[in-house]
Amino acid sequence: MTAVLPQGNRGLLLRVMIVLALAMGSLGIAGTGKAQAERDSVIEFPDPVLDWLVRQEIGLAEGPIRLSDAEQVEELDVRYEKLEAFREQNGYWFAYLEDLTGMEQLVNLKSLILWDSHSVESLDIIASLPKLEKIVIWEGRPIDLELFSGLHSLRELVVTNVISEDLEPLRSLANLEVLNLISNTLQDVSALESLPQLRELSLYSWPENSVDLQVLDKLTKLERLSIHQQGLRQLDFLRHMPELRELHISNNPIISYEPVKQLSRLESLSVSHVDDLSFVAPLSHLQQLSVEQGQISDLRPLENLTQLRRLWLAGNEIRDVTPLSKLTNLEYLTLQSNAVEDISSLRTLANLEEFHAGGNPIRDVHAIGEMAKLRVLNLDDTSITSLRGLERLSELREVTLRSTVVPVDGEPAIKAWKDRILTAGGTFYYEAYNPIPDILLYVNRNRVFAGGEYGEIREAPFIHESRTLAPIRFVSEYLGADVKWDQTSRTITVDGLDQRIVLTVGSREVTVGKERVTLDVSPQVRNGTAFVPLRFLSEQMGLKVDYYHWYGNIGLTAGAGEDQ
């Protein structure tokens, strides 16, 4: 049964409905007006650096900043280079972001990068920005990870100077894909099991910190993993990371690298303190490899890694670099501080753009002269005596040649080459011994320069009781003297100079001609080699002594016979 209103009542109802509709419309208009008024309200950023950064993002050099303007800001990037324009415009030598007040108005901020140029006292405002997807905080004050616990949109978090002992504040950040932390206090990383979307993880500690890392086998989607100085010993978890492209695990007491062999997609690898490279031989997709500060001598496992473009091998025991001749795609190579003498096999590396070969007894550089694309070259502390052959390298823009006997300005072709590099805006770091010594001794090293060429001596000079002791036979015979050793009396006799010198091992008393002289330190014998104080040698043999403490070298030159 349907109820029907009388005609009069229906008219009354219609009028009531119209009134209600008008009233509701007025309320809507009022609400919209209020919201618009809020968006038009002026906001302020007390910190001049923050104010400038916001203005850069919204394109407003002057005038008031309104809330509607702030809503446009999705990214803030604070780093030294970024603030150069601010410093120039405002006449500052230095400028730092110090106060984040007002940042809570940036309600749509998705990316915050505080790389450097900041000294913010409090970062608490960050917790009020729920749309943040990326946070990078480099340097600055210690940070507790609790600050980020409510930012559920976070996908990337990079923080240095973390003081938290565990990762529990991050357990609920299920969207996190990138996590890079530097911490000296982290003890528990078990919360990583709740971050299944992680593609990149980096944990770094200084000094070394031991952490239980068994949870890593839960992170099956990882593509990049860096674990530095975390006491890592086992690598079994790598079996659960089929997508891994980058692995950096230097400075850990790793027992075995065998699991690395299975990472068929690996493109970048960093390890240290290893003595065998056989585990890298199957990694045919490697483009970057760093194996430094170890005992590597055999490079044959590398010879088939033809996709390698960047290779670090500093601080090992390498002598033979022939296996590297097949790596013709190499663009960067460092062999710093090894025992390489012959680099002739490297002439095939035609794509090499940067080569660091310092700290090796390299004698001939002609192979380098065939690396036509070379732009950066380091030949510090080598055994070369000439740079001939390098003058045809037209692309070179940076040359480092320190601790050398090469007279760059003494050879016209080489000087012209140096001048071309400098004229093109390049750099030529050159520091030769001055004067070029007749003899160059290396403290605690068997290396020696004498007679215009490099060689080796049986026993190296050393420091004893704050005095430098040098091998008397080598120095004396180089100067034309005759040295005799009497095993019975344990005396050393030097003839052929202006007068006879007689020394006794273990005694500070020395006979020079008819006079008696007292030494600061008595002569010593090491492995059949007699050593005497360098000061005594310089005084008696008319040598000028130059100490190059920075390099650990001693130059001996025929001269005034005085220490400098």
Q: In this structure, what token pair is assigned to residue 321? A: 């670099």
Q: In this structure, what token pair is assigned to residue 260? A: 């690395």
> pLDDT, tens digit, for every residue of 373-404?
999 999 999 999 999 999 999 999 999 999 99
Q: Is 504 helix (H, G, I), strand (E, B) or coil?
A: strand
**How many Cα atoms within 13 Å fall on the side-chain side of residue 422?**
10
- Residue 171: other Cβ atoms inside 10 A: 15
Q: In this structure, what token pair is assigned to residue 247? A: 């692995």
SS (H, E, C) 150-188: CCCCCCEEEEEEECCCECHHHCCCCCCCEEEEEECCCCE
Residues 6+ apart with CB under 8 A from 50: 97, 99, 100, 101, 102, 103
Residue 258 pLDDT? 97
> pLDDT, tens digit, for every residue of 87-123?
888 888 888 899 999 999 999 999 999 987 788 989 9
Stretch(es) of the chain classified as CATH 3.30.457.10: 439-558
Tell me how far apart the alpha carbons of residues 360 and 141 are, in angstroms, rounded to a whole number.
42
Tell me how far apart the alpha carbons of residues 232 and 201 are, in angstroms, rounded to a whole number.
14
Q: In this structure, what token pair is assigned to residue 394? A: 């037209």
Tell me how far apart the alpha carbons of residues 264 and 318 are, in angstroms, rounded to a whole number.
27
Distance of CA 366 to the CA centre of its chain: 30
Stretch(es) of the chain classified as CATH 3.80.10.10: 302-432
* 440 contacts 385 by C-beta, under 8 angstroms: no
Residue 224's φ and ψ, nearest 5 degrees, are -135, 130
Q: Is 366 helix (H, G, I), strand (E, B) or coil?
A: coil
439-558 topology per CATH: Copper Amine Oxidase; Chain A, domain 1 (3.30.457)
Residue 543, burial from CB neighbour count under 10 angstroms (0-12, 13-18, 19+)? buried
Listed residue (98, 203, 82, 184) closest to 140, CA to CA? 98
| Domain 302-432 listed as CATH 2.102.10.10 | no
Tell me how far apart the alpha carbons of residues 135 and 537 are, in angstroms, rounded to a whole number.
64
User: Is the bond leading into 361 cis (omega within 30 degrees of zero)?
Assistant: no
Q: What is the pLDDT along the chain (564 residues), one digit of tens a residue?
A: 444 445 555 566 656 565 555 555 555 554 555 556 667 899 999 999 999 999 999 999 999 999 999 999 999 999 888 888 888 888 888 888 999 999 999 999 999 999 877 889 899 999 999 999 999 999 878 999 999 999 999 999 999 999 999 999 999 999 999 999 998 789 999 999 999 999 999 999 877 788 899 999 999 999 999 999 999 999 999 999 999 999 999 999 999 999 999 999 999 999 999 999 999 999 999 999 999 999 999 999 999 999 999 999 999 999 999 999 999 999 999 999 999 999 999 999 999 999 999 999 999 999 999 999 999 999 999 999 999 999 999 999 999 999 999 988 888 989 999 999 999 999 999 998 888 999 999 999 999 999 999 999 999 999 999 999 999 999 999 989 999 999 999 999 999 877 899 999 999 999 999 999 999 999 999 999 999 999 898 888 889 999 998 888 999 998 654 444
C-alpha dist (Å) from residue 294 to 275, 298, 317, 456:
6, 12, 8, 23
Question: How close are the terminal C-alpha atoms of the chain, in Å?
Answer: 122
Residue 544 β-bridge partners: 557
Tell me how far apart the alpha carbons of residues 286 and 283 are, in angstroms, rounded to a whole number.
6
Q: Is 427 helix (H, G, I), strand (E, B) or coil?
A: strand
Tell me how far apart the alpha carbons of residues 254 and 269 are, in angstroms, rounded to a whole number.
14
